[in-house]
Amino acid sequence: MAESRPWLKHYPKGLPANIDVDRYPNLNSFLSEAMEKFADKTAFYCMGKSMTYGEIDKASRQMAGYLQSRGLKPGDRVAIMMPNLLQYPIALFACIRAGLVVVNTNPLYTPRELLYQLKDSGVRGIIIVENFASHLQEIIGETQIETVILTSIGELLGTVKGSIVNFVVRKVKRMVPKFSIPNTVNFKDAIAHGKNFTIKDFEDSPDNVIAHQYTGGTTGVAKGAMLTNRNIVANMLQIKGCLDTRLKEGEEITLCPLPMYHIFAFIVNCLAMMAYGSMNVLVTNARDIKSVIKEFKNHKITVMTGVNSLYNAMLNDKDFAKVDFSQFKFGVGGAMAIQSSVNERWKAVTGSDLIEGYGMTEASPVVSVNPIDGTARIGTIGLPVPSTDVRIVDDNGVVQPVGQRGEIQVKGPQVMKGYYNKPAETANTIRDGWLCTGDIGIMDEDGFFRIVDRKKDMIIVSGFKVFPNEIEEVVSAHPKVKECAAVGIPNEKSGEVLKLFIVKKDRSLSKNELLDYCKENLTGYKMPKEIEFRDSLPKSNVGKILRRELREIKE
């Protein structure tokens, strides 16, 4: 009802209050439509090689047939473990076409982390790049894996380019440790063998689980969020509804520096942008900022996805300002708050906005996004996407009025089915249909939401609540600060005190200078009691600063 959704009054023209969640019965029907419609258009580009939607379609259908021929049945889990390569969308779409459940797997996992995820999901097959096969070798005997499809970084880049890339990766940079796994098949061979098989029909209902997407594990043991056809199709349509006012079919070139095994790029880049027939420019290693900027220079990028730390790093590279931004429309930020200082610098350099949104794995992932019609409110996570209800509740579950802090709860068709094999955790996270996010937020009178912090990151100083995001927002605005993180550390007198970790932009920055700055901008109990300068801060695979690791550092 509109009266419980104040944000509807501020929706941009053309954005519907609700989407038709039954428009596609499953993800397969969406894929078939998009690939046929845009068959001749470039779908993915990586390291100088591109593939059209038609080529991706054909290869994925053949691989789907091959996967079924190996005895993998609808509902079986298959892990995909690789960085951004042309092989990823082929493997993903093959699994979906074969009715298999995709288990996106971070290639940077240690053998221990890898074993946990593979066993937890009961994975029966894996499609993996050779760089990480030695880790698989260590633990494969403890898993249910029977099918291993192996690929190399250069396998789909063409004979000459692929050979050069593989030589450099294997012999020069020595990035492929020795391994021995019996009965593997090469990626291209699997596609070729698949010509001999047709995909067997299976029941592909809206409630079928098609992905186990593991949460980052930054707050305890990682859990597999079960995402269904309905969840993912709904979120894609919600995202499309929010972007339709600015994006045009057949004209978009999207930069994808975030790994597609992460929920953000998985849904937004790899899937949702297909609705526009967009060309996705893949960056294999986004930690190499030069390679991100290179793709910006080589292509008329219209849209990109990223996180605050990536945008900040690009702005700190002198070559970025030399890019032609004439076709660029906006950048989308997620996974962590976009700092206002970064947004202001981005706009000054590119002439475009960074549009901040909010989501989480359990919501497939997008919950809210700022309008892209020029009415975005910096510092907020925008308005809930269509067909979505969001509310703020206190510790007792009582809905809070406008302007009051509390936990953000979400209800909508994108909310996951639950955590795989974890009914207790599911019941604790989804209550009466509401997803409990663990994020503390505020809603203003117009329905714009603002994240204050994570429940578990909140610092209590002598009974006063201190929110790290607020501290980091203030400190990051100091011209000599490159990156910062605020955490709470134990203190006998006050329970906790605030500690700052700083990466300098200017070597002359001193602790006293920073403390004086904080005194001007922060009240007494929010003042840092300790400051530690570091060369770098620990980050997740998408560049999100890991406060937990900083808290765990032994003094």
Please check whether residue 26 is in contact with residue 155, taking contact to mean a CB–CB distance below 8 angstroms.
no
CATH annotation of 458-552 = 3.30.300.30
SS3 state of residue 115: helix
SS3 state of residue 435: strand
CA 145 to the chain's CA centroid? 26
Which pLDDT score, from 0 to 100, does residue 2 have?
39
Which pLDDT score, from 0 to 100, does residue 216 have?
54
The rounded distance, in Å, linking the Cα atoms of 285 and 126 is 22
Please check whether residue 280 is in contact with residue 269, taking contact to mean a CB–CB distance below 8 angstroms.
yes
Which regions of the chain carry the CATH code 3.40.50.12780? 2-18+230-454
Tell me which DSSP letter residue 300 carries.
-
Which regions of the chain carry the CATH code 3.40.50.980? 27-204
The rounded distance, in Å, linking the Cα atoms of 498 and 530 is 7
Structural fold of domain 27-204 = Rossmann fold (3.40.50)
Which pLDDT score, from 0 to 100, does residue 438 have?
87
- Give the Å distances, CA to CA, from 7 to 3, 195, 370, 384, 397: 9, 51, 11, 7, 22
Q: Where are the alpha helices (DSSP H) in 287-339?
A: 289-298, 308-315
Which regions of the chain carry the CATH code 3.30.300.30? 458-552
Phi then psi dihedrals of residue 380, to 5 deg: -110, 165
Token pair 């992460």 is found at 262
Please check whether residue 393 is in contact with residue 406, taking contact to mean a CB–CB distance below 8 angstroms.
yes
At 96, which helix (H) or strand (E)? Answer: helix 87-97
Comparing C-alpha atoms, which of 366, 364, 361 is closest to residue 333? 366
pLDDT in tens, 526-555: 899 999 999 999 988 778 888 888 887 644
Which pLDDT score, from 0 to 100, does residue 166 have?
94
Low-confidence ranges of the chain (pLDDT < 50): 1-2, 217-219, 554-555
Say which CATH class 2-18+230-454 falls into.
alpha beta
Which pLDDT score, from 0 to 100, does residue 1 have?
36
| Residues paired with 331 in a beta bridge | 304, 354
In this structure, what token pair is assigned to residue 404? 């009051």
